[in-house]
Amino acid sequence: MKAAGRLLLGLLLSSTVAWADALTELQTAIADTAERVKPAVVSIIVEREVTAVAAPTPSPTPAPSPTPPDGEHFGIARGTGMIYRATDQYYYVMTNAHVVREARGNDVKVQIIAEREEREGHVVAYDTRTDTAIVRLERRPEDRLATVKLGSPAGLRVGSFVLAIGSPFGFEWSVSLGIVSGLDREIREPTNGLPANRRPETYRGLIQTDASINPGNSGGPLINLAGEVIGMNFAIYSPGQAGNVGVGFAIPVDRAARAADDIIAYGRVKRGFLGVMVSDLDQVARQQKVSLAELRKLLGVDAGAFVSQVTPGAPAATAGIEAGDVIVALNGNPVSGSGSLVDQTSVVAPATEVEVTIIRGGERKLVKLVVGELPAAPGAEAPAVTPPPRRLPDPLGLKVAPLTAEQAAELGLGEQRGVLVTELNPASPAAALGLVPKALLVRGRRDDQTVVFETVEAYEAFMAAAATANATVQIWFYAPPEQPGGAWGLRSLLIKVPKPAEGND
Q: Which residue has the higher pLDDT, 463 or 505?
A: 463
The verdict on 158 and 233 lying in the same domain is yes
Cβ-in-10-Å burial (0-12, 13-18, 19+) of 416 comes to middle
Mean pLDDT of the chain: 79
Q: What digits encode the pLDDT tens for the residues 168-184?
A: 888 888 888 899 998 98
Res. 94 pLDDT band, cuts 50 70 90: very high
Which of 365, 367, 305, 309 shows the shortest CA–CA distance to 340? 305
Res. 52 pLDDT band, cuts 50 70 90: very low
The verdict on 250 and 292 lying in the same domain is no
Q: Does pLDDT of 93 surpass 60?
A: yes
Residues 6+ apart with CB under 8 A from 26: none
Q: What digits encode the pLDDT tens for the residues 56-72?
A: 334 333 433 333 333 33
Number of structural domains in the chain:
4
Contact 396/419 with Cβ under 8 angstroms? no
Structural domain that includes position 329: 272-373
Catalytic residue chosen out of the listed positions 59, 176, 181, 218 = 218
Catalytic, 280? Answer no
Q: Dihedral angle at the C-alpha atoms of 334, 335, 336, 341, nearest 10 degrees?
A: 150
Residues 367-390, mean pLDDT to the nearest whole number:
60
Contact 204/186 with Cβ under 8 angstroms? yes
Catalytic, 218? Answer yes
Which of 456, 440, 502, 448 shows the shortest CA–CA distance to 473? 448
Residue 439 belongs to domain with CATH number: 2.30.42.10
The pLDDT value recorded for residue 82 is: 92
CA pair distance 338, 305, nearest whole angstrom: 5
Residue 248 belongs to domain with CATH number: 2.40.10.10
Residue ending a domain, choose from 99, 115, 138: 138
Q: Is residue 21 part of a domain?
A: no
Determine how many CB atoms are found less than 10 A away from the CB of residue 191.
10
Angle (CA) 347-124-68 rounded to 5° is 125
Q: Is residue 379 part of a domain?
A: no
Catalytic, 122? Answer no
CA pair distance 37, 194, nearest whole angstrom: 34
Res. 195 pLDDT band, cuts 50 70 90: low
Q: Which residue has the higher pLDDT, 39 or 379?
A: 39
- Burial code (b: 16+ CB inside 10 Å, e: under 16) for 89-109 equals bbbbbbbbbbbbbbbeebbbb
The verdict on 415 and 346 lying in the same domain is no
Residues 6+ apart with CB under 8 A from 4: none
Res. 384 pLDDT band, cuts 50 70 90: very low
Q: Is residue 210 part of a domain?
A: yes
Contact 77/99 with Cβ under 8 angstroms? yes
Q: What digits encode the pLDDT tens for the residues 331-343?
A: 888 888 888 888 8
Residues 138-144, mean pLDDT to the nearest whole number:
87
Residue ending a domain, choose from 266, 295, 315: 266
The pLDDT value recorded for residue 53 is: 34
